[in-house]
Amino acid sequence: MMTATQTVSIKDVQEASHLIHEVGRVTPLIQSMFLSRTVTHGDVYLKLENMQLTGSFKFRGAYNKIRHLSDTEKARGVITASAGNHAQGVALTAHLLNIDSTVVMPKTAPLAKQQATSGYGAKVVLAGDTFDESRAFMEQKAKEDGLTIVDPYNDPLVIAGQGSIGLEILDQLWDVDTVIVPVGGGGLITGIATVLKHFDPYIHIVGVQSENVHGMTASLQAGKLTRQCTGPTLADGTAVAMPGNITFGLAEELVDEMVLVSEEEIAEAMKDLLQRTKTVAEGAGALPTAALEAHKIAPQWLAGKKVVALVSGGNVDLERVADNIDHFFKSDPTGHFIG
């Protein structure tokens, strides 16, 4: 019987990396002195996937998947469901490869992500109040119109594309000890973990989710696919109530621990990334920083260690950034948080 880790191999990721870098970027890895000296007493580096094409890591998986489609599948056009970042990855890839694309987004998707997706040439359809409702609509529309589905996470080719980040991390910091990753459906963390555990099984892999939506954490705790959602989250890019069967199986084998953060902790991390490192991060992209600042990860994996925290994306409405700054200014009207 095939194990989960045999669904995506290191060779798959290496091939994906070669394809992605035809057009994609090798994103920077920068040290955060604030997180290193003040928070963890280790060496913390930020992997800036907010500087990838479309402002998110999602371009990688989308590009790898669509590049592997047959001519017949491409000719039918592609469709996906996404809260925004995968949507943009699919839309830009389809534009680059001259393929028609349709993206189903929740009605609550940030306006900036809706506009960016349509700006890349995709037909945007708003359906459902949650990602899961949008996904169900997408599956029905794909069947009715004969479109090719590009799954946002539960696909070996998408997972392999996201895994290219793992190869870059090893190129940039070969002796990394701990890697902290935002988790929604699980494609990102399982792709990265596939690479890191292949080269060094002792690298500690930590996934971070919101307390409000953490399907992967609930599933791993229950030992089976489990739905979990108690409300909206600033980390809309990871608002997946239940992971896929492929990503769940990989996570069971490869991910060392999962931690949860509150909405307040996410907001504070977004503010601190902007203030301290001049990095614009959306809620999902701030999850690893939130886990560090809230001390959700044991010191044994941080103090004196080389740590990579992934900033998975920076696609956030300016209104939300302004509201976040206003919130913290009101909580400290002296303005001491500035500078």
Catalytic center residues: 58, 312
Can you read off the two tokens belonging to residue 71? 């001519």
Residue 223: burial class (beta carbons within 10 Å; 0-12, 13-18, 19+):
exposed
Distance CA 86, CA 3 (A): 27
Distance CA 254, CA 244 (A): 15
Burial readout 289-326 (b: 16 or more C-beta within 10 A, e: otherwise): bbbbbbebbeeebbeebbbbbbbbbbbbeeebbeebbe
Closest CA to 116 of 315, 319, 280: 315
Element (H, E) at 310: strand 306-311
By the 8 A CB rule, do 197 and 71 touch?
no
List Cα–Cα distances, 70 to 74, 79, 98, 134, in angstroms.
Answer: 6, 15, 14, 26
Distance CA 52, CA 59 (A): 8
Helices (H), the chain: 10-20, 33, 58-67, 71-76, 85-96, 111-119, 131-145, 156-172, 187-199, 215-222, 245-254, 263-277, 287-293, 318-331
Q: How many CB atoms within 10 Å of residue 77?
A: 17
